[in-house]
Amino acid sequence: MPQYKMYIDGKWTGSKKTFSSLNPATEKVIGHFSSANEKDVEMAVNAAEYAQKKWAEVPAPKKGEILLIIAQLLRQNKERLARIETTEMGKVLKEARGDVQEAIDITEYMAGEGRRLFGHTTPSELRNKFAMTIRIPVGVVGLITPWNFPIAIPAWKIMPALICGNSILFKPSSDTPLCAIELVKIIEQSGVPKGVVNLLTGPADPVGTTIVKHEKIRAISFTGNRATGESILKNAGIKKIGLELGGKNAIIVMDDAKLDLALEGVIWGAFGTTGQRCTACSRVILHKKISDKFTRMLLEKTKKLRLGNGLNPNVDVGPLVNKAALEKVHTYTEVGLDEEAKLLCGGKRHGKKGFFYEPTIFKNVTKDMRIAQEEIFGPVLSVIEVKNFDEAIDVMNDIEYGLSSAIYTQDVNRAFLAIKHIEAGITYINSSTIGAESHLPFGGVKHSGTTREAGILGIDEFSEVKTVFIDYSGKLQRATIDE
């Protein structure tokens, strides 16, 4: 059985304590992985602190050239990485390829930021005085990433952190450590100096908690569940905190929508990645005039979805990531039945081997039910019927989250009203709730998080803004004081 190591100060380092990663489709062990402790974190922090000072001195365009090498290596290894991801995480192969492509896209985008990293110039209120802002590195940053996009999400954090001149402690999910190792191996090949990127595998405690609390780590970027995000806020101390904490996303289908188009979007949003996306559609809000017809269409198409190992090109839906996820999803099925929602299909485990769960649809769901309020993170969809557009917006917004949203309508006025009134960081018109692009900001409002990743705002997360004044008047000028 393969034994995998951590990466600290440019060296692959093992540990006495290990843990296993499973293939969720077969439940077979993929390998054994080093489990870091507090001393390992301290070693990584010291290495990162030393390396960061030198890395910050490398001109940003030169850093960009290194990122382009990473992008090229990712492209060369795309199929290999995708197959590893499908084996370790479970998503179907075409989606795993998309995950690697997202990593390529963000790496190329952030390489371009090496020739921008824009500040601002602005007029001073005084004569013969110049005013501007510049970006400077934060320092040592801690990146804690989830299992559902085990290559893309780390890349969304690592690449802007690198281009801004930071050094990194990278702690991936223990469900997908092999994907993280393969990504770091590519970074290592690119020429990033030793100590700049450090990989620590192992459990949230002690690895994640030690990173969060460490005084020398000046920023934390975390993607995961809300409870962990709240814990980070309580324990991190005074440092930059970026949190992406999930959603309870909905698609509105109005009475004038193109139903075939909306059907594709709902199926993709609800059951793509087996519903294991923070942007997954877990609620579909249907206008009463088309509700029955659309629900019949939805049920017919859902029943045709094929479950199985994601490496099989004929499979539509892969497994859930682990046994705990399987049990959680089934618990919510029981909650829905207890709440007297009507189960139309699914609601049970599929097969005897692997963590497969049938795509599940509930009808007669009201907006206050738990299955309509809480993030399930699995292939469970709630159908909610509404009388009109205003009620649809009310149902859409009556949740604690605000990440992604969508509406299908042919009325341009409704579309713009939806853009205005939906409480979410992302709104799609006539498309599903999933499908982020690397050059645009990604993130939510309310309990969905505190930050925006990707695009120019991805630079904001990993840089500090310094204001600079240059007075060339030759005399002391007192700003904001009347002479």
Determine whether 38 is an active site residue.
no
User: Which residue among the candidates 95, 102, 182, 278 is catalytic per the annotation?
Assistant: 278
User: Which residue among the candidates 88, 244, 375, 453 is catalytic per the annotation?
Assistant: 244
Determine whether 345 is an active site residue.
no
SS (H, E, C) the chain: CCEECEEECCEEECCCCEEEEECCCCCCEEEEEECCCHHHHHHHHHHHHHHHHHHHHCCHHHHHHHHHHHHHHHHHCHHHHHHHHHHHHCCCHHHHHHHHHHHHHHHHHHHHHCCCCCCCEEECCCCCEEEEEEEEECCEEEEECCCCCCCHHHHHHHHHHHHCCCEEEEECCCCCHHHHHHHHHHHHHHCCCCCCEEECCCCHHHHHHHHHHCCCEEEEEEECCHHHHHHHHHHCCCCEEEEECCCCEEEEECCCCCHHHHHHHHHHHHHHHHHCCCCCEEEEEEEHHHHHHHHHHHHHHHCCCCECCCCCCCCCECCCCCHHHHHHHHHHHHHHHHCCCEEEECCCECCCCCCCECCEEEECCCCCCHHHHCCCCCCEEEEEEECCHHHHHHHHHCCCEECEEEEECCCHHHHHHHHHHCCCCEEEECCCCCCCCCCCCECCEECCECCCECHHHHHHHCEEEEEEEEECCCCCCCCCCCC
Question: Annotated catalytic sites, by residue?
Answer: 244, 278
